[in-house]
Amino acid sequence: MYVEVEPGVRLHVSRVGEQGAPVVFIHGAFVGNQMAWLLTTAAAVGATHRAFTYDLRAHGLSDKARVGHAVPNQVTDLGKVLDASHISEPCVLVGHSFGALIALAFAVATPARCAGLVLVDPPLPPTDPEAVTRFLAQPLDAIASALPLGMAGATESGSSGRRARKLLQSLQFLASETDLPAAVRGFDVPDEVLRTLAVPVDVVVGDGSPCRVAGERLRDVVPGARLHVLAGGHFLPLEQPAALTAIVQEALDRLYRLRGAAGPEQSHG
C-alpha cells in the first residue's frame, strides 16, 4: 500500500504476517530499500508477528522528494506509516544504518509507541565529522558486492536490468537532488538524552564495520543496552541474514515478553 506523508509524497509500505505483535523494519539510505528486509529477516519474522517494511522517501517504490530527508522529518513519516498501518500499540522498531537513526530518534520523541529497538550498525557518531564523511564516501563497488546477496529473489524474469537502471537512477537522484547526505552527517542524539532512554535497546554491529564504535557508544550510554557483534561489515542484513534474523527473533521474544505481550495477538487492520 501507499501512505501519503505530505502532498505529492507517498511511501510504499509492505506487510508480512497477519497475527502477532507488530514489528517495523527501516532500511538504510542511498542504496537501501525495503527489499533488504523483506527478502530476509522480515519474511522470517512475519511467521509469528505482523512485520512491516517501507521505502523511505526517494527510495525504492516511494515517491521522489528533494527535501524532507532530515531525521525529524523521517520521524514524522514513520509515525504516519504506523497510523496508516493501524499500529496503535507499542511496537518494536528494527533499523539498519540511517534507519537505525530514525528508529532511535522516534523512540526518543515518542517512547510510548516503542516496545523496543534493534539498531543494526548505526552510523558513526557525528562527533567525528571527518569519519562520517569517509564513511559516506566508501566506494560503491563495496556496496554493490553485497547487493546480489539480498536482491537475488527480486531479479527474476529478466527484470534485473530494469531494476539495476532504477537503482542507478535512484542513486543519482539521491546524490545530486536531495539533502540526504547532510541529513545523515548532521544527526546526533546527545549522551544525556540517551542516558534517559527508557526503551530496551539491542545493538548489532559488524566486527569489521566502521560503525562499530557507534554501537559501542550506545552500549556504554543507554541503560541496559545489549551489544551483539557479527562477523562482517556494514551491510549485515545482506551479509549475515540468518545470524541477524536469529538475533532479531530472540530480541522480539524477550522484548514482548517483558511487556507481557508474548504470544499471538489479534490482527489489527
CB 249 within 8 A of CB 21: no
Instruction: Grade residue 182 by pLDDT with cuts at 50, 70 and 90.
Output: low
CB 255 within 8 A of CB 200: yes
Contact 121, 234 (CB under 8 A): yes
What local confidence, expressed as pLDDT, does residue 42 receive? Answer: 95
User: 101 in a domain, yes or no?
Assistant: yes
In this prediction, residue 109 has a pLDDT band, given cuts at 50, 70 and 90, of very high
Neighbours of 137 (CB within 10 A): 9
- Residue 268 is assigned to a structural domain of this protein: no
Question: Looking at the domain assignment, is residue 266 inside a domain?
Answer: no
What's the CATH code of the domain at 145?
A: 3.40.50.1820
Residue 119 domain-assigned (yes or no) = yes
97 in a structural domain: yes
Contacts of 5 (CB under 8 A, 6+ apart): 11, 57, 76, 77, 80, 81
In a domain, 130, yes or no: yes
pTM higher than 0.85 for the full model? Answer: no
Q: Which has the closest alpha carbon to 221: 131, 108, 114?
A: 108
> What percent of the chain stands above pLDDT 90?
52
What's the structural domain count of the chain?
1
For residue 71, pLDDT over 50 is answered with yes
- Give the domain extent around 69: 2-258
